[in-house]
Structure 1
Amino acid sequence: MEFGIGMFGDLTFDNSKGAFQSPQERLKEMVEQVKLAEEIGIDSFVLGEHHRPDYAVSSPEIVLAALSTVTNKIKLASGVTVLSSADPVKVYQDFTTIDLLSEGRAEIVAGRGSFTESFPLYGYNLSDYNELFEEKLNLLLQLNEEEIINWEGKFRAPLRNQTLYPRPEEKLPVWIAVGGTPESVYRAARLGLPIIFAIIGGMPKQFKPMIDFYKEQYEKHGHDMSKMQVAVHSHSFISESMEHLTENYFPYYAAQMDRIGSQRGWPKYSQMQFLGGMSPEGALYMGEAEAVTEKIINTIEMFGLTRFVAHIDVGGPKHKDLMKAIELYGTKVIPEVKKALSL
């Protein structure tokens, strides 16, 4: 069982200035935050990709490469690599470089992405959303398995007797990130790939049938069940008190939900939704350490997880609050979860 933190590089919005913080400042903060995470024993760091004014990270590979030089143990993963709008050859070369710099700590978490800004930016048609992912995933997996590549597809030039250099010391771990669609879950199971479910709304127990389906199909397709990996990636934030959380973090979280929601037709995010998400049945792993601990324990037991990733920077909370949340997660929550589950 592993425990990770996830970030998108959300920028803090300063209401007094009416502007976001500079991406340069946020990236420097992120380095401090990941270094702290490693110091207190967190297993992995997962970094997302976005092409929007409210995020600092458009190239997770560059940031992960930088982090590889100031850390020694923590695994460094994308979360996600939007593979549909990326070149698998470049993705593989970038993560091979991170893997070599970090001495074997790089992981690719590939997904179709819930944000679509990268498609027009890189010249892809959204109508090809599913086909692009299928084709590019197959190429990425072939690059990981074979040294000499012969490949032909629909959306990029063919490869004839090509080899990518440098080579990683070992094959790179490739995860599939899903939002819960049966087709995505089935694909991961059929291919025998580790899976990570993004659970950011509703009730986590609603995902139980999908996780059971993955396990059934994984076994049905002849894969070694002892190597199966299932993870959950959920919005999280640990605070010393509920009062501090609602007063100091809720405004940032709600503002980000409203920024995204305004483009997707969501109603304005309310404090009632926030508190409801923190209930035992809700999808927010937020609150005081004891409550978050109990919720993570229940989730691990319900799903049979091998990894839990706490996504902790939604809305761009202040640096000192984010550092405290990481500290509480690593020193209070994780030890108690391990103790309860005899890990």
Structure 2
Amino acid sequence: MELGAFSLSDIFPDSPDTAASRIDDIVEYGILAERHGLDAYGIGEHHTRQFAVSSPAVVHAAIARATQRITLTTTASVLSVLDPVRVYQDFATLDQVSHGRAEIIAGRSAFAEPFALFGEDISQLDDLFAEKLDLLLRLREQKPVTWEGRFRPALHEAEVNPPTHGDLPVWVAVGGTPSSALRAGRLGVPMALGLIGGSIDHAKRLIDLYRSAGREAGHPDEQLKVGITSHFYVGETQEQALEELYPYYHRYLSPETNGGRGWDVERAQMDAMADRRGALMVGGPREVAAKILDLGSELGVDRFLG
């Protein structure tokens, strides 16, 4: 199993952090991740002032010049509101800068703000994502590419620059919706499952759906990779980790932080999610290591990002 870390680039309220200081931190985390032998490092993409990074490819380019080995991925690129040609070119450029280490995890977005910012209709979220994902995959597979859709001008024998070191890896981010897992399986692309609630048993149901759909579509098992991303905090002991994390976790999920969309998580709820079968990767080193090993032994997961 590959192991890695990721940052959503959130700026904690009432802290001295700025976008500039957070980006400095995020670049240093990527360098540190490679130094400690991790396999992949992810950066999230957001389009509000509560987050520091709106362009992961740009920040990853800084990390690329200070590293040699680690995979540079996204968690996740908000493909629903972006032009797939521009996304592909940005990461093809990162692929050249990093000598073949760029990767895209394409997602639909959990936030409404990007749709207004980029002039896309959020009521057509799923259709937008499906069409744009189709074009992104075509850009990778066809050179030159001819394509036609509803939401973007058609392409005819289009050359996309620059070239890449082999096929640019593209994963699909799935947040817990069965239809999203089925789509990823039918396409035969790796699935990055955001495990931020529920349990390992819930994740298993989605992974089984994904793999069944992939096999029915004729894709080989080795092509049907699964990654898990989860909130992650390790302390000296289980109790210390829970005690230290709770004020931050409560604030992170609260309606105050999320424009009225969040909820006030109770300490008992957080503790339950940190149990052996829960989604939250929080605890002492032994407890968290055991939970990550469960992902491999029970779910056959290929990658974990915390």
> CA shift at 1:299, angstroms?
2.0
Q: Which amino acid aligns with 2:221?
A: M
2:106 aligned residue: 110
Structure 1 runs of 4+ aligned residues shifted over 6 Å read none
**In 2, are the aligned partners of 1:110 and 1:174 still within 8 Å (CA)?**
yes
Residue of 287, 293, 296 corresponding to 1:297: 293
User: Are 1:93 and 2:50 counterparts?
Assistant: no
Higher mean C-alpha deviation, range 288-297 or range 223-232: 223-232
1:263 aligned residue: 260
User: Are 1:128 and 2:114 counterparts?
Assistant: no
Structure-1-length-normalised TM-score? 0.85
CA RMSD, 1 decimal:
1.5
CA offset digits 1:180-221 (Å, max 9, x no partner)? 222211111111101111110121211212211211121111
Alignment partners' CA distance in 2, 1:10 and 1:196: 20
* Secondary structure, aligned partner of 2:183: helix
Residue of 157, 165, 171 corresponding to 1:169: 165
* Secondary structure, aligned partner of 1:96: helix
CA offset digits 1:254-287 (Å, max 9, x no partner)? 1111145662253x12221221111112111111
Structure 2 spans left out of the alignment, 5+ residues: none
* Secondary structure, aligned partner of 1:46: strand
* Secondary structure, aligned partner of 2:146: strand
* Secondary structure, aligned partner of 1:176: strand
* Secondary structure, aligned partner of 1:291: helix
Residue of 234, 240, 246 corresponding to 1:238: 234
Q: Which amino acid aligns with 1:8?
A: L
Q: Which amino acid aligns with 1:176?
A: V
Alignment partners' CA distance in 2, 1:130 and 1:260: 26
Higher RCO (CA 8 Å, separation ≥ 6 residues):
1
2:71 aligned residue: 75
Alignment partners' CA distance in 1, 2:218 and 2:242: 48
**In 2, are the aligned partners of 1:43 and 1:75 still within 8 Å (CA)?**
yes
Higher mean C-alpha deviation, range 5-14 or range 132-141: 5-14
Q: Which amino acid aligns with 1:29?
A: D
**In 2, are the aligned partners of 1:20 and 1:54 still within 8 Å (CA)?**
no
Alignment partners' CA distance in 1, 2:235 and 2:136: 40
CA offset digits 1:74-119 (Å, max 9, x no partner)? 1000111111100000000000011111111111101112122111
Q: Which amino acid aligns with 1:263?
A: G
2:148 aligned residue: 152
Structure-2-length-normalised TM-score? 0.95
**In 2, are the aligned partners of 1:104 and 1:169 still within 8 Å (CA)?**
yes
Structure 1 spans left out of the alignment, 5+ residues: 311-343
Alignment partners' CA distance in 2, 1:191 and 1:201: 26
Alignment partners' CA distance in 2, 1:60 and 1:156: 23
**In 2, are the aligned partners of 1:47 and 1:80 still within 8 Å (CA)?**
yes
CA offset digits 1:36-56 (Å, max 9, x no partner)? 111010000111111222211
> CA shift at 1:20, angstroms?
5.2
Alignment partners' CA distance in 2, 1:210 and 1:31: 33
* Secondary structure, aligned partner of 2:275: coil
Alignment partners' CA distance in 1, 2:16 and 2:52: 10
1:49 aligned residue: 45
Distance 1:202 1:164, change over 3 A: same
